[in-house]
Structure 1
Amino acid sequence: MQVLDDALSVQSDPQGLMTLALTITQKYAVARDIYAFELVAAQQKTLPAFTPGAHIRVRTPNGELRKYSLCNSPDDAGRYVITVKRDAHGRGGSVSLVDDTVPGQTLLAQPPDNAFALVEDPRRLIFIAGGIGITPMLSMIRSLGDDSTIPWSLYYLTHDEQGTAYRELLSAPSYAGHVTLHHSGSRHDHFDLWPVLEKPNQGHVYCCGPRKLMVDVRDMSGHWSSSRIHFESFLEGGEKKPDDRPFTVTLSHSGRTLAIPVGQSILEVLRNAGVNVPYSCESGTCGTCRTHLLQGDADHRDMVLMPEEKGDQIMVCVSRAKSDNLVLDW
């Protein structure tokens, strides 16, 4: 057992990952099929600090390890708040967390990590959220405070009012002039983000939501500096496609060849093989796992690489192969 932040015990879960023991103190609905969980340290005094945009990975009752943004202010010491959308068509983690937990129950979670860190640009901060993608934005907005001198705007796009998490909070007078709520409804009335992004490099843009929204924002912000556009995705391992097929990767330094099956990422296979690959988001949005591609034709599924980089770079957390084999600089 190791000790973190003086009094917080860090344990190992059944898969050997370093974890925190967290107790659910509150669990309540914040919109249709969306629930907030307040978590505190189980039998301990302190929790590791976190920064705006950070997340934790929680071991759900059915054994899945799932990534959730911390929604509360980093100054709100002593608790973590996560918000979970119950997705009946997902991989089962969110359903288990919503259906199989009660206040007082203890969950295991990894300490906070941040692949979506806030840059407090004095010019402007632009937050674009779709659906449950509002969660990391809440921590960022709360960290700015009511008297922030940094201009900021939030564009929160959802299907309808009932499915809009924290709608009452974001409609409060203190957020007037900052927050735009838009509901597409059954008529698919999409919000035009071009006027928001038309003038380049006017601060920093943070986008989290469905992949289509993030692709649209990426395409509309191509004239911005890439360092000013930030994405967060919870689709760990990347987008799954019906025509996914197995392939192999060869590690140039050792000559080892590893099989990448359908349903597993290159990163997962490399880590299981003992290769020390740096990573963070596991969703192709942070760039930490950028790897030199020496040979082969990659199927790029990230939100980071520029077109001119795709010939010799790959994000191994999400991307796959079009060719039978990829040769990586490991």
Structure 2
Amino acid sequence: MTGPQLLLRQLRREAEGIVSYEFVSASGAPLPAFTAGAHIDLHLPDALLRSYSLVNEPGERHRYVVAVDRAAGGRGGSAWMHSTPRPGDRLASSLPVNDFPLYEDAPLSIFIAGGIGITPFVSMAARLNTLGRAWRLHYSVRSRHRAAYVRELNALDRSGNAVNLHCTGEDMERPDIAAIVREAPAGSHLYCCGPSGMLDAFASACSGLPPQRVHLERFSASQEAATTGGYEVQLARSGKTLSVEAGKSLLDTLLDAGVPVQYSCSQGICGTCCMPVLEGTPDHRDDYLSNEEKAANQSIMVCCSGSLTQRLVLDV
């Protein structure tokens, strides 16, 4: 979805390793509206596409604010964002998309965040304050220096006890996710965004709750990408057949062969690299497709998934 051209107005250090970017419309027109929990995709050099949660308050049409953690071992998106953009630069973006919506009528919203996973909850807390709804936050970081947006969240905390900061590198315990879920009042909705270990613990603790009350957003994969190789991928439209070698992903094989592939997270989370499957059985490693969609074997996330059969035919 093509969105507006954005003009970078300012950068700000939010915490150790975390920088926020405030964008305005390059044309001066109001920006497309968004809801709490939404993200935008930014188009970076070398065909990189990266998704970032919108941190600012829903209803604001004059700016988009995102925050980026300097991640080690990534494909270059965070490194570029931390080293290159300066005020006055322009970037293309998608329209806002919300795969992590806030249920605004819940009597209580309980947020569990780890690291940069705090970003969607800043927007959600602001929205709930506007609605007069209650919320609680459990925020886990390695140190206080790594805790972004604590001042803003404390300012939003009307009860004075909604923000619970857990600095695990300062002899503080991690959030007891099982206890948080167990003690959640009836009817409350629970949200989690953070590293895969936290999300796995959250999903396990919430297994007995109605699924409509449980919400999670991943920014890292729950399993390793398929790199065993040893199969062929046939591209039905072009007629090309490529060999996927051991140690390489399907995405890398396609890119090395000059096949234009849109991708973003490279971890099977965002759905950007989804391709139709005509023949073969994918080795699904993503967290985007539902169990039913995986069982149908009609789509594959080429960034992380592979093939369980000797040949995989893609509608490309």
Please report the TM-score for the alignment, with normalisation by the length of structure 1: 0.75
Alignment partner of 1:39 is 2:30 = no
Partner secondary structure for residue 316 of structure 1: strand
Partner of 2:201: 216
Moved more, 107-116 or 193-202: 193-202
Q: CA deviation at 1:151?
A: 2.6
Identity of paired residues, percent?
A: 31
Q: Is the 8 A contact 2:250 2:305 kept in 1?
A: no
User: Structure 1 residue 103 and structure 2 residue 99: aligned?
Assistant: no
Matched to 1:204, the amino acid is: H
Moved runs in structure 1, 4+ residues, more than 4 A?
238-244, 246-251, 256-261, 279-295, 303-306, 308-315, 325-330
Alpha-carbon spacing, 1:42–1:233, altered in 2? closer, same or farther (3 Å): same
Q: Which one of 143, 162, 177 corresponds to residue 160 of structure 1?
A: 143
**More moved, 24-33 vs 150-159:** 150-159
Structure 1 contact 46–78 (Cα < 8 Å) conserved:
yes
Q: Could you tell me how far 1:264 is from its partner in structure 2?
A: 4.2
Contact 1:19 1:108 in 2 (8 A): yes
Per-residue deviation, residues 202-254 of structure 1 (Å, max 9, x unmatched)? 33222111111111111111112223222212348x75448543645789x99
**What SS does the corresponding residue of 2:165 show, helix, strand or coil?**
strand
Structure 2 unaligned segments of length 5 or more: list them.
none
Between Structure 1 and Structure 2, the one with more helix by share is 2
TM-aligned CA deviation for residue 157 of structure 1: 0.9
Query: Is the 2:7–2:24 contact (alpha carbons within 8 Å) kept by the matching residues of 1?
Result: yes
SS for the counterpart of 2:158 is helix
Deviation at 1:281, TM superposition (A): 8.7
Listed as ranges, the matches of 1:169-248 within 5 Å are: 169-172=152-155, 174=158, 176-185=160-169, 189-198=173-182, 202-235=187-220, 240-241=224-225, 243-245=227-229, 247=231
Map 1:1-330 to 2 at 5 A.
Answer: 18-61=2-45, 63-145=47-129, 148=132, 150-172=133-155, 174=158, 176-185=160-169, 189-198=173-182, 202-235=187-220, 240-241=224-225, 243-245=227-229, 247=231, 261=244, 262-264=248-250, 296=281, 298-302=283-287, 305=290, 312=296, 316-317=300-301, 320-321=305-306, 323-325=308-310
Code of the residue aligned with 2:88 in structure 1: it is G
Aligned residues: 304
CA contact (8 A) 2:122 2:153 kept: no
> How far, CA to CA, are the matches of 1:171 and 1:102 in structure 2?
29
**1:28 and 1:298 mapped to 2: Cα distance?**
41
CA RMSD of aligned residues (A): 4.0
Which letter does structure 1 place at the counterpart of 2:64? Y
The one-letter code matched in structure 1 to 2:249 is: G
Which amino acid is 1:170 matched to? L
- Is the 1:302–1:315 contact (alpha carbons within 8 Å) kept by the matching residues of 2? no
Closer, same or farther: CA 282–101 of 1 in aligned 2, 3 Å? closer
Matched residue SS, 1:67? strand
Q: Distance in 2 between matches of 1:209 and 1:323?
A: 30
- Unpaired runs of at least 5, structure 1: 1-16
Question: How far is the alpha carbon of 1:134 from its aligned partner?
Answer: 0.6
In 2, the alpha carbon distance for the partners of 1:315 and 1:235 equals: 20
CA contact (8 A) 2:227 2:249 kept: no
